[in-house]
Amino acid sequence: MLRSEELAKLEREIVSCRHCPRLVAWREEVARQRRASLKDETYWGRPVPGFGDPEASVVVFGLAPAAHGANRTGRVFTGDRSGDFLFAALYRAGFASKPISRHRDDGLRLRGLWISAAVRCAPPQNKPTPEERDACLSYAARELELLDAKVVVCLGAFAWDAALRLLGTRPKPKFAHGAEYEAGPFTILGCYHPSQQNTFTGVLTPEMLNTVLARAAELSGESAPEDNDLVS
């Protein structure tokens, strides 16, 4: 089976998962209630699969879907300010065909990069339990097995710890923005999460994210074109 077919098969499995009762209840409750300003939208309300290029050599690894972001749109890091900040940077770095990701059918493509998360269902207060994290990490492990990635960019300490946990790294090195760590066939890069809390306060600037993505491209051998030739 082709890698893209294996990933599509895994996606179907993820999207139908109901393993964690608390998260299933929360994701579906949020999808029913909706935010007042989004009342006309149909929320996804299911686990959010990985998204990107099956031939990716860079994986961007996040925490979990946002209740009114990816849990609404069905695409990871899509539909909230964190995603807007991230996709703008991916576009600048030549990894994305458009500077904004709007929904699953907007035609956006990624080149050389895959976006994944430790947990695939939106958790209350963005805080999955250790049991929920460990249950869901098996999906990320299978993605990493299927992809031929060399670099994993971890957005935030939770993603950093989760990535090192699934790679069986002991002792786990401490998270820091710009940290690099060799873990088996992967280089793990630390990057502050593009949450509003970080981007509105200047803890994470566009330039800082540019630098991390440029380093990921360098380590992975991905070219970083000056002009984005993915633009459609």
CB nearer ligand SF4, residue 125 or residue 201:
125
Instruction: Reply yes or no: is the peptide bond before residue 171 cis, omega within 30 of 0.
Output: yes
Pattern of binders to ligand SF4 over 75-114, x per CB under 6 A?
----------------------------------------
Pairing of strands 180-183, 113-117: unpaired
Rounded-to-integer distance, Cα 206 and Cα 201, Å: 12
User: What is the spatial distance between Cα 200 and Cα 89, in angstroms, rounded to a whole number?
Assistant: 16
# chain residues binding ligand SF4, by CB under 6 A: 14
Site stretch for ligand SF4 (CB under 6 A), options 85-93, 131-139, 200-208, 218-226: 131-139
| Nearest Cα to Cα of residue 81 among 69, 89, 73 | 69
Q: CA 8, CA 19: separation in Å to the nearest integer?
A: 20
Does 121 engage in binding with ligand SF4 (CB under 6 A)? yes
> Minimum Å distance from CB 76 to ligand SF4?
12
C-alpha pair distances (Å), 225 with each of 96, 185, 208, 218: 11, 25, 18, 12
Using CB under 6 A, which of the segments 35-43, 130-138, 164-172, 178-186 binds ligand SF4? 130-138
78/116 with CB nearer ligand SF4: 116
Binding site for ligand SF4 (CB under 6 A): 14, 17-20, 23-24, 47, 119-121, 132, 135-136
